[in-house]
Amino acid sequence: MKFEDINKYTFFAVMKNLEEIAKEIHLAAANAYEIEQISLSQDIGIDNAYDIQAQSIAHRIADGETLIGLKMGFTSVAKMQQMGVHDMIWGRLTSSMLIHNQGNTPFSKYIHPRVEPEICFQISKDIDDVLDENQVKEYVSGVAGAIEIIDSRYKNFKFSIEDVVADNCSSIGFVVGEWFPTHTSVDNLKIELLLDGVVCETGNSNDILGDPWKALAACTRLAKQYNQPIKAGMYIMAGAATSAAFVKEGQHVSATIETLGSVSFDMQ
């Protein structure tokens, strides 16, 4: 065998197919362990990354979970700068991810969890079209303050855009506060994230694409592009308004969103 052939052989030997990667990510998420970034060994491209995400979520569904919503990511400058990714992304929310407001969740379920304050919408009727920020209001039953827990499966919480998309955009949990009617203004609301009652991040609802409704509009566009139906009853998370903060075992996490009140949970 010539030297070039050995190299070629080695290259193909380490390449994994999409099914293998999806399974690996699914198992890492289900059992809370870290894996290497895919992008360190192969270039998958964004469409394959969404394909891997869909397949990893299919494993969760096969294990008995249900799809209960979608989430947007990198809809604020704070998040894009923190993670070094500058394009919007979207992921899926499943039944095991929902944590009751003022409830708790065991730290052992996570690798290196972070929390971030968000706004959540609930969908009132199926959406099949791409809608703008005004049209989409007709399809929403309420708005609420929320916290997302993210827990990248990659070492050191570092990833490329393809890595994070394949990893379901780091999704692991979310907490939704009290629902308010759709006409409740989400314009220019002060947002605070607190750990054990101490403010660690401050932002504004308009840090989410200038208007959180635009995140929902973007979600209708991306969901359509990737053939993901948006169904009545789904939760749609608009993306964090501030940077995310690492959360430790035993900490009380809360977020206050001016006029939408407070939402919290305990990391036990």
Output the smallest distance, CB 169 to ligand OOG, in A: 4
- State the number of binding residues for ligand OOG (CB under 6 A): 15
- Binding partner at 256 among ligand OOG, Mg ion, none, C-beta below 5 to 8 Å by kind: none
Q: Considering the rule CB under 6 A, would residue 169 count as an interface residue with ligand OOG?
A: yes
Across 225-252, b (16+ Cβ under 10 Å) vs e yields: eeebebeeebbbbbbbbbbbbebeeebe
- Cβ atoms 149, 156 nearer than 8 A: no
What count of Cα atoms within 13 Å lies in the side-chain half-sphere of residue 58? Answer: 11
Report helix angle 18-31 to 46-62, nearest 10. Answer: 50
Q: Considering the rule CB under 6 A, would residue 217 count as an interface residue with ligand OOG?
A: no
Q: Candidates 49-57, 73-81, 225-233, 248-256: pick the segment binding ligand OOG (CB under 6 A).
A: 73-81
Q: Which of residues 225-244 bind ligand OOG (CB under 6 A)?
A: 239-240, 244
Q: Which residues would be at the binding site for Mg ion (CB under 5 A)? A: 148, 240
- Read off the tokens for 264: 């919290």
Output the smallest distance, CB 22 to ligand OOG, in A: 18
Output the smallest distance, CB 26 to ligand OOG, in A: 17
- Read off the tokens for 97: 């991810």
Q: How many residues does the chain have?
A: 268
Interface positions with ligand OOG (CB under 6 A) = 71, 73-74, 79, 83, 116, 148, 150, 152, 164, 169-170, 239-240, 244
